[in-house]
């Protein structure tokens, strides 16, 4: 792309129920639904679990570009959806709170790199502080998907200590009507497959 844009992504969690149905009349939560911008990009808003959006993208029902797919992939590891049926309101609230706590720990603390032998410097950057500008590494021989690296910052931050996610890459095939075959993988697995001529495996 001849022009790139720096974009900030925000994580916003809706307030959980207090666990008491008798207090619901005293509480009012206002959720601002995004409004459309004249039909240029946003025309409606629908809420669903992160995993549901990923499944729809894999099935070809919706288009998710690599940055959105990557972010939902990370979030879905922690926000796994509704609790088992039959739980009380308090138990259900605890279920959701535990998921949120795990996600917040993930974004606030540096992650243990997958490869302990020689961790990349970006491993010490908490996920909430990571910045990344996806860059094409190569095209897989087996399935023609582009391998996007996520470790580099955008050009406005080159030469700084900022960085992204060294351990993961995104695979994607760009077509005229949008991206297909989007997948988040471990970098070392994708590189090993390419070395061993297994790039066709999905």
pLDDT of 26? 43
Provide the pLDDT for residue 121: 86
Contacting residues for 165 by C-beta, under 8 A, at least 6 apart:
122, 127, 130, 132, 150, 151
Q: Please name the residue that has the structure tokens 């099935």.
A: 59
User: Per the confidence metrics, is the pTM higher than 0.85?
Assistant: no
User: For residue 199, what pLDDT is reported?
Assistant: 47
Backbone phi, psi, residue 76, to 5°: -65, -20
Cα dihedral 1, 148, 171, 140 sign? positive
- Contacts of 27 by beta carbon, 8 Å cutoff, 6+ apart: 18
Cα 80 to Cα 8, 11, 89, 90: the distances in Å are: 24, 16, 18, 18
Record the tokens describing residue 15, joined without a space: 């307030």
Residues forming beta bridges with residue 89, ordered by sequence position: none
Q: What is the pLDDT along the chain (202 residues), one digit of tens a residue?
A: 566 667 778 888 888 866 544 334 444 556 666 676 666 666 667 888 899 999 999 999 999 999 999 999 999 999 988 888 999 989 999 999 999 999 999 999 887 777 656 788 888 899 999 999 999 999 999 999 999 999 999 888 888 999 999 999 999 999 999 999 999 999 999 999 999 985 444 4
Q: Do 82 and 91 meet the contact criterion of CB atoms below 8 Å apart?
A: no
C-alpha to C-alpha distances, 141 to 21, 138, 193, 197, nearest whole angstrom: 58, 9, 10, 8
Judge whether 68 and 46 are in contact, CB under 8 Å. no
Q: Tell the residue number behind the tokens 């288009």, with chain if given.
A: 63
Q: What is the dihedral of CA 40, 43, 47, 53, to 10 degrees?
A: -50
């Amino acid at each position: 792309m001849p022009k790139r844009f720096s974009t900030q992504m925000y994580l916003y969690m809706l307030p959980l129920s207090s666990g008491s149905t008798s207090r619901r009349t005293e509480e009012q939560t206002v959720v601002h639904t995004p409004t459309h911008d004249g039909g240029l990009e946003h025309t409606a808003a629908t809420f669903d679990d992160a995993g549901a959006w990923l499944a729809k993208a894999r099935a070809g029902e919706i288009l998710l570009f690599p940055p959105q797919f990557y972010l939902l992939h990370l979030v879905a590891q922690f926000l796994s959806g509704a609790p088992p049926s039959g739980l009380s309101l308090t138990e259900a609230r605890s279920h959701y709170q535990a998921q949120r706590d795990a996600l917040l720990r993930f974004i606030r603390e540096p992650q243990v790199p997958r490869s302990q032998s020689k961790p990349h410097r970006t491993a010490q950057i908490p996920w909430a502080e990571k910045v990344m500008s996806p860059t094409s590494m190569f095209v897989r021989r087996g399935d023609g998907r582009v391998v996007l690296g996520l470790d580099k910052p955008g050009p406005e931050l080159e030469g700084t200590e900022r960085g992204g996610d060294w351990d993961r890459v995104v695979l994607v095939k760009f077509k005229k009507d949008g991206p297909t075959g989007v997948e988040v993988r471990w970098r070392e697995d994708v590189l090993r497959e390419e070395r061993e001529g297994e790039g066709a495996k999905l």
